[in-house]
């Protein structure tokens, strides 16, 4: 599986090197911020690979949302643990609502046969 005709691992290595290079030449990022940027890149690449492979998307979408929240927190977003939990719960519900509409049963629903000896109540 390739993205932009490159292996996903190569793209992640490129992002990591660009972040390090930018930091070396004046971009003021802490090591924690650099790590969070790389984590978001990994989550994004994981989501792209899942989409391209037509794989289940719930986990990659939730992982990307969690990584994006971590990125925001790493860059100064001041949310309590409760606020973070509520936002992640909201994202999980939205994903579940979408996934539920995409599920198709492999076999049709069976209709129970009626017993000829039983008369329906009126």
Please give the average pLDDT of every successive group of 10 residues along the chain, which has 122 residues: 73 84 88 85 83 76 86 88 89 83 70 64 62
d(CA 12, CA 31): 17
The total of other beta-carbon atoms located within 10 Å of residue 46's CB is 19
Model pTM? 0.59
Q: Greatest CA span in the chain, whole angstroms?
A: 86
Q: How high is the pLDDT of residue 115?
A: 63
H helix runs in the chain, sequence order: 8-24, 31-52, 58-74, 81-102
Q: How high is the pLDDT of residue 58?
A: 79
Q: How high is the pLDDT of residue 120?
A: 61
Q: How high is the pLDDT of residue 1?
A: 65
């Amino acid at each position: 599986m390739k993205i932009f005709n490159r292996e996903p691992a190569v793209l992640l290595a490129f992002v990591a090197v660009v972040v390090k290079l930018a930091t070396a030449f004046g971009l003021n990022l802490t090591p924690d911020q650099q790590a969070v940027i790389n984590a978001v890149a990994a989550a994004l690449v994981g989501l792209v690979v899942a989409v391209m492979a037509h794989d289940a998307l719930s986990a990659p979408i939730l992982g990307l949302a969690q990584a994006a929240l971590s990125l925001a927190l790493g860059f100064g977003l001041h949310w309590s643990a409760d606020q973070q939990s509520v936002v992640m719960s909201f994202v999980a519900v939205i994903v579940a609502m979408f996934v539920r509409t995409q599920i198709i049963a492999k076999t049709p629903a069976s209709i129970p046969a009626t017993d000829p000896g039983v008369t329906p109540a009126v």
